[in-house]
Amino acid sequence: MANYPELKDRVAIVTGGARGMGVAISRAFGAQGCRVAINARKETDAAKALRDEINQGGGQAKIFLADVRYTNQALKLIEEVKADFGGLDFLVNNAGINRDRVVWKMADEDWDSVIATNLTGYFHTIRAVAAIFREQKSGRIVNITSINGMRGKFGQSNYAASKAGIIGLTKSVARELGRAGVTVNAVAPGLIETEMIAEMPEDAKAASLGETVLGRLGTPEDIAETVLFLCSDGARHITGEVIKVDGGQYI
């Protein structure tokens, strides 16, 4: 993993930080000496183990419970992290779910729950940090989207729509916050080894793997590396971008 000394003692929030790619992202920030706010809906054993691992490794981590689908909880999350850690530098929106169905079988709840978590939740946290970042004239926002938000996916109209919405949200907020010195970017993973992928039917997984140029699954650490870079000084002149991390799957 690359080393970014400038990240030491900075404060990062990772929504959905105790599951899937969020674990690797939280762990990567911790390894850089960041103070990491691991956001989760519940204080699970996995969340506590991740917190303890980061703290024992020389980082600083705490768990902050909030369901970002709800604006009051998202606002409280941002306020509590800032008060507890004494500042806020990075917001990584990673929380996400899927409820895959072909559109003619998709229930309202399948649509509403995915949009609420994957898109509205991002809006809630971004709106909550915007005033802080504008006032301090610095900050980095990284939103986790998906290549399926760029190309669509059979059986994922809700998921693809939410991820496409994140791209539009990213570009718009990048325009709005740019003059305050705040960068806003998105990372678009392809097929990544997470719990979500483990639940895929083997034939669907094989078909997706066959789309990749590199012929392999990505890892959560591949995503974490890109997130760290976007928060580093080396990315200070990058904003409004969507970086695909997909082994060439999109092309």
Catalytic residues: 159
- Whole-angstrom distance, CA of residue 187 vs CA of residue 46: 24
- Whole-angstrom distance, CA of residue 7 vs CA of residue 31: 10
Non-local (6+) Cβ contacts of 101 within 8 A are 107, 110, 155, 158
Type of residue at 92: V
Type of residue at 180: A
By CB atoms closer than 10 A (0-12, 13-18, 19+), residue 179 is exposed
Q: What is the CA radius of gyration of the chain?
A: 17
Non-local (6+) Cβ contacts of 138 within 8 A are 89, 180, 181, 182
DSSP reduced 3-state for 114: helix
Q: Taking a C-beta distance cutoff of 8 angstroms, is the pair 28, 221 a contact?
A: yes
Type of residue at 157: S
Chain Cα centroid distance, residue 73: 18
Type of residue at 107: A
